[in-house]
Amino acid sequence: MIELQRTIAKAVSLSGIGLHTGTSCTMTFTPAPENSGIKFIRTDLGGRPEIPANADFVVDISRGTTLGLGSAKVFTVEHVLAAIVGLQIDNINIELDGIEPPIGDGSANPYVEKLIEAGFVTQQAPKDYLVIDQTVMYHNEEEQVDIVALPMNSYRISVMVDYQNPVLGSQHTGLFDLEKEFVTEFAPARTFSFLSEVEMLADKGLIKGGNIDNAVVIVDHAIDEEGLKRLKDKLGLQKDLTMSHEGFLNNNKLRFKNEPVRHKLLDLMGDLALIGAPIKAQILAARPGHKANVEFAKKVRSLYQQKKLVKKFQFVKKEGVVLDANAIQRILPHRYPFLLVDKIVELDLNKKVVGVKSVTVNEPFFQGHFPGQPIMPGVLIVEAMAQVSGILILNSFIDPENHLVMFMSINHAKFRKPVVPGDQLYLEAEVISKKSKYFSIKGSAYVNNDLVAEAEFMGAITDKENKSEN
């Protein structure tokens, strides 16, 4: 796999209509600097809003993957992203003068051809690979979807689907060499749909740009000439529709015997681009779809952000420690005698954190609380839980060192057992809710697995410079 980042050599454009909206759009790929990533830019909107291609900006997955930031949206990004990932491009801007990229022939081929025409430029910065070193699993029992990432020092994807349709049946495919197989074996795989889905979408006006040239339609129920004529009128087609004996509309034969599952792999590649970094892993997927793909991408992206966090603040790797005292001081502004967490031993970014505070007889507060019977003040246990919470919340921001956590309320605080010298406090914080810069946290403190204190916090993130002005 390529080890240095790359972008394209020149700007290239293509025009057409979007599959779902039916609106015209010119899309232009332009070079981008190192470490800037993949961005969609709506040039038709005031301020040219930029939408980063990562899972945090997914706003809809009903018929494809839609990204949005504020009122700006871009529909059906998965085929474009698959082309970019398949060609191992790290930094690129995708300018659009409409809401949906041109669908082309329903595959990634049109985008691949344009990007190859643009040529590639190797940049100086190394690729920021996410190396999967532990199994990551996603399971949806209701939809019988499973996606797994396994450790591997390369990039492989295997996909299995079972459509329970005599035309297709069960299918599987695998991409094992990105450089040799993507352009010829997977980029040409077109989007497909069953006839019953096409009829439903046409009735709802959700495939205004759909036609028989940009999708393979698989006949999954009986339809007569009158039914074909009605469908033609709904889709606004010029040519009459016919049905082949193989079970496809208009004799639109498959480019590959297993073209549908190859397209599912293509969709998965595009959606996994939303992790925000190239990955080294083996991906195994059974019956994937956009909803599951994006949920899995979010899960892996959280792992990626966590690894970046640890790499940024924890300079020396220590067994059983995620962040040591030195790393904590690079994140939190607290110092002696008010830094009340010694290390972080568990971190699930944006969800949960576990910190440790070793309580010694040398703590300055024991001099007055209480002489002859040292007990850690309950308010300081709450403060310790709050500091651990701050580490969890601050690191949802790109630059935690430039922000502060300001707590707005403490609710349902309870103190169940005293904490005394020699105790080791395990401080857990779990996100209850988070919206923009505001959050709610459930904090718990344990000694020897016994709950000694608990509380709920509400707070907000503020800029450090704003703190000095207030």
Q: What is the pLDDT of residue 207?
A: 62
Q: What is the pLDDT of residue 425?
A: 98
Q: What is the pLDDT of residue 371?
A: 93
| Closest alpha carbon to 23 in 155, 210, 166, 200 | 210
Q: Are residues 110 and 149 in the same domain?
A: no
Q: Are residues 322 and 455 in the same domain?
A: yes
Q: What is the pLDDT of residue 470?
A: 33
Task: Report if residue 366 sits inside a domain.
Answer: yes
Q: Count the domains in the chain.
A: 3
Count Cβ neighbours within 10 Å for each residue of 33-48 and write b for 16 or more, e otherwise: eeebbbbbbbeeeeee
pLDDT averaged per 10 residues in sequence order, the chain, 470 residues: 96 92 94 97 97 96 92 97 98 98 94 98 96 95 95 96 77 96 97 75 62 69 77 72 66 82 97 97 96 96 88 88 94 93 92 96 95 96 95 72 86 97 97 88 97 95 60
Q: What is the pLDDT of residue 462?
A: 87
Say which CATH number the domain at 402 has. 3.10.129.10
Q: What is the pTM of this model?
A: 0.79
Residue 441 phi/psi, 5-degree rounding, is -130, 140
Q: What is the pLDDT of residue 245?
A: 55
Q: Are residues 390 and 300 in the same domain?
A: no
Structural domain ending residue among the three candidates 123, 147, 165: 123
Q: Are residues 324 and 303 in the same domain?
A: no
Q: Residue for token digits 């169940």?
A: 416
Q: What is the pLDDT of residue 206?
A: 58
Task: Report if residue 428 sits inside a domain.
Answer: yes
Q: Are residues 320 and 454 in the same domain?
A: yes
Task: Report if residue 130 sits inside a domain.
Answer: no
Q: Are residues 198 and 242 in the same domain?
A: yes
Structural domain ending residue among the three candidates 81, 102, 123: 123
- Measured CA to CA, the distance from residue 460 to residue 470 in angstroms comes to 15
Residues in Cβ contact with 397 at an 8 Å cutoff, skipping those fewer than 6 apart? 403, 461
Q: Do 207 and 235 touch, CB atoms closer than 8 A? A: yes
Structural domain ending residue among the three candidates 123, 144, 174: 123
Domain residues for the domain of 427 are: 314-469
Say which CATH number the domain at 277 has. 3.30.1700.10
Q: What is the pLDDT of residue 279?
A: 96
**Length of the chain, please?**
470
Give catalytic residue positions: 290, 369
Q: What is the pLDDT of residue 209?
A: 57
Q: What is the pLDDT of residue 468?
A: 38
- Measured CA to CA, the distance from residue 191 to residue 20 in angstroms comes to 12
Task: Report if residue 185 sits inside a domain.
Answer: yes
Q: What is the pLDDT of residue 81?
A: 98
